[in-house]
Structure 1
Amino acid sequence: MTVDIPEPIKVWSQFGHPILMWILFALTLYALYLGIQWRRTRFAQKDTKKELIKKDFRTRHYQLGSLLLGLMVLGNLGGMAVTYINNGKLFVGPHLLVGLSMTGLIAVSASLSPLMQKGNELARYTHITLNTAIVGLFGWQAFSGMNIVQKILDKMS
């Protein structure tokens, strides 16, 4: 069974993934900030620690991380679906492979949360390392994705 998707929807749907990913990149940087602030809170002296705890960096970091995990998985699947719908195939290249890798990394990173909550330092350092890699890869993805967007725009004109 094939479903005919109206041409304007097919064309404009190609921009949903890049827009979502730029928003997620910004949210990822904010999650990084919250994580750093939570770590700073953990090691702060008594008076400073009391003030930092009031800002609830831990909960905000955890909640934003959960949101990022869900949206990254859905954004990745959506990007692949739109590419397939519009081209009849996926373009297996660095952008796709890095995106899939990032999705796996964020899932593993999130899965470490229960261990970190129990005080496991290896899990905490692994979480930090994985997320640092994700931020770096996300920066590269943002710019390689803009090259793809430019190709779509050139094809449209």
Structure 2
Amino acid sequence: MMTSQLPLVLQILIAAVHPVMMLIAFLLTFFALHWGIQVRRTRNASGEEKKKLIKGKYNQQHFQLGSILLAVWIIGSLIGMVATYLLYSQIFLSPHLFGGLFVMMLGSIAAAAAPFMQQGKTWARTVHLCTIIPVLLLVFTQSVTGVELVIVMIKEFLGVG
């Protein structure tokens, strides 16, 4: 049950920021995945196909979007925790919270591998893949549990709960 004494409009705004940010991050994750796959295709291609793929500059797009995603995941996760505290006067130890913390942790490890990947280090690609695959699964799971939490909040705002 929400304990906040803030005006209802402000409570709704506070409650909406995290889900909106995470929805945007969820959608952008698919672009980053696509560009990451294209980077791998480029690296493994040869001849005309490789020349064509290089023109796509997928490596730059993947790197830039990955950097933005990491920032959105971290800032969005922290905003979610702050919003929960402002609305409920506590942080709930839930699968959604732990999933978000793991996304931040694994995403930062994947990003830390990027400079080494640019130097051609195979181990860094392995680290990147081994951390990003769980992130993709967690982002999907987080979207499911996040929708469930949004439904609970909407019911609380409407007084139907």
Q: Which TM-score band applies after superposition, normalised by the shorter structure?
A: over 0.9
Give 1:100-139 correspondences, 5 Å limit. Answer: 100-139=101-140
Aligned to 1:53: 54
Give 1:54-69 correspondences, 5 Å limit. Answer: 54-69=55-70
Distance 1:105 1:132 in 2: 9
In the alignment, residue 36 of structure 1 is paired with which amino acid? I
Identity of aligned residues (%): 36
Structure 1 segments (4+ residues) deviating >2 Å: 4-7
- The TM-score normalised by the length of structure 1 is 0.94
Aligned CA-pair RMSD: 1.1
| Bigger mean CA offset, 22-31 vs 5-14 | 5-14
| Bigger mean CA offset, 6-15 vs 86-95 | 6-15
Report the CA distance between 1:5 and its aligned residue. 4.8
- The TM-score normalised by the length of structure 2 is 0.92
Report the CA distance between 1:20 and its aligned residue. 1.1
- What do residues 24-73 of structure 1 show as CA deviations (whole Å, max 9, x unaligned)? 01111110100000110011111111111011000000000000011111
Aligned to 1:23: 24
Gaps of 5+ in 1: none
In the alignment, residue 11 of structure 2 is paired with which amino acid? K
Report the CA distance between 1:6 and its aligned residue. 3.9
Distance 2:6 2:41 in 1: 50
Report the CA distance between 1:7 and its aligned residue. 3.5
Report the CA distance between 1:12 and its aligned residue. 2.5
The size of the alignment, in residue pairs, is: 154
Distance 2:99 2:151 in 1: 19
Aligned to 2:142: 141
Gaps of 5+ in 2: none
Q: Which secondary structure state, in structure 1, belongs to the residue aligned with residue 39 of structure 2? A: helix
**Do the aligned residues in 2 keep the contact of 1:29 with 1:135 (CA within 8 Å)?**
no
- What do residues 85-137 of structure 1 show as CA deviations (whole Å, max 9, x unaligned)? 01100111100011001101000110001111111111101101211110111
Report the CA distance between 1:11 and its aligned residue. 2.4
